[in-house]
Amino acid sequence: MKVIKDQVLGELHFNEFYWERVFDFYSDGIQYSVNLIIDNEQDQLFDDYHYSSFAWLNKSISQTLREAKAVIQRYVAETFNAENADLSLSTIVIPYKTNGVHSCVGFLFDSSVDCEHGFAAKYINGRLYSVGGQDIVI
């Protein structure tokens, strides 16, 4: 497994498909320890897209996490007729770079409502872009 130490993104491990590490943070008095995935080729350097996505994540994580949970709760209630679904943040993803996108971050949640696919909220350029199954991000 290839390991790099990036000054901004930290120590990352390439696991055959993407770069990853544990990402620890506090939000609303709760400590989180989740998987951070940065989708990039093993031999490509990280660039402004990755760094701006990570900077946006760090700057807005508490507010964005609250919003992501709320919109996913509404999505689950409307789509699966399940009120107050259990949501557990499992992974944060900076997906593969797309042309014209300055930053992109996805929040992946596990839930007993859909154990196989879970749920996700995807933010592009700092705005909520889509909500659905985890496949909208990965």
**Each residue's pLDDT tens digit, 71-98:** 999 999 999 998 888 999 999 999 988 8
- E strand segments, 1-138: 2-6, 10-14, 19-27, 30-38, 88-94, 104-110, 119-124, 127-132
What would the pLDDT profile of 28-76 be if each residue is shown by its tens digit?
999 999 999 999 887 788 899 999 999 999 999 999 999 999 999 999 9
- Note the pLDDT tens digit of each residue in 4-33: 999 999 999 999 899 999 999 999 999 999
Does pTM top 0.85 for this prediction?
Answer: yes
How many whole angstroms separate alpha carbon 130 and alpha carbon 31?
26
**Residue 9: its pLDDT value, please?**
96
- Please report the pLDDT score of residue 42 as a whole number: 78
Quote the pLDDT of residue 74.
95
Question: What's the pLDDT score for residue 90?
Answer: 97
Element (H, E) at 48: helix 48-80
pLDDT of residue 44: 81
> How confident is the model at residue 40, as a pLDDT?
87
Which phi and psi (to 5°) does residue 73 adopt? -60, -45
Tell me if 108 sits within 8 A of 130, measured CB to CB.
no
Distance of alpha carbon 24 from alpha carbon 70, whole angstroms: 22
Q: How, if at all, do strands 19-27 and 30-38 pair?
A: antiparallel
